[in-house]
Amino acid sequence: MSTVKLNSTITISLNVKSRARSAEWYKKHFGFEEIYSADEIGWTELTTNTEGVTLGLGDAEEVTPGNMIPVFGTEDVDSARKDLEGHAVKFDGETMYVEGMVKLATLYDPDGNALMLAQDLSE
């Protein structure tokens, strides 16, 4: 039995060719609002109409349709990763750390679908 504790947030991550263009499209057509944009890591995050769910737009040179990655919020990425690795869950590389912002770990489900765990460090 896993002991990973997720919080009540999820970010749907999309790779896009132009974060500015995509953000404007989602604002215009769905009424989403920009929460923040971090050029140094190529990331823009928008509200959605669902509480606890945000849309994250990440820079990419090549975009493959259907590239959405759910990013589950957790209070402790390191603990969650250790627990999941103990159950032979495969991770993609090391945990990414952006000081004062976020810790991210990419993992795969049994069918090879990518998921991420995120710990908010801005608080």
Q: What percent of the chain has pLDDT over 90?
A: 72
In a domain, 1, yes or no: no
How many Cβ atoms sit within 10 Å of the Cβ of residue 93? 7
114 is a domain residue: yes
Please state the domain count of the chain: 1
User: Which residues, in sequence order, are bridge partners of residue 59?
Assistant: 16
Q: Is the pLDDT of residue 50 over 80?
A: yes
CATH of the domain at 116: 3.10.180.10
Whole-number pLDDT of residue 55: 94
In a domain, 44, yes or no: yes
Nearest to 41 by CA among 98, 104, 105, 100: 98
Q: Which range marks the domain in which residue 114 is found?
A: 6-120
52: exposed, middle or buried (Cβ count in 10 Å: 0-12, 13-18, 19+): exposed
Percent of the chain with pLDDT over 70: 98
Burial of residue 91 (number of CB atoms within 10 Å: 0-12, 13-18, 19+): middle
* 57-116: pLDDT as tens digits: 999 888 887 778 889 999 999 999 999 999 999 999 999 999 999 999 999 988 788 889
- What mean pLDDT is reported for the chain? 91
87 domain-assigned: yes
- Beta-strand relationship, 96-98 and 102-108: antiparallel
**If you count them, how many residues does the chain have?**
123
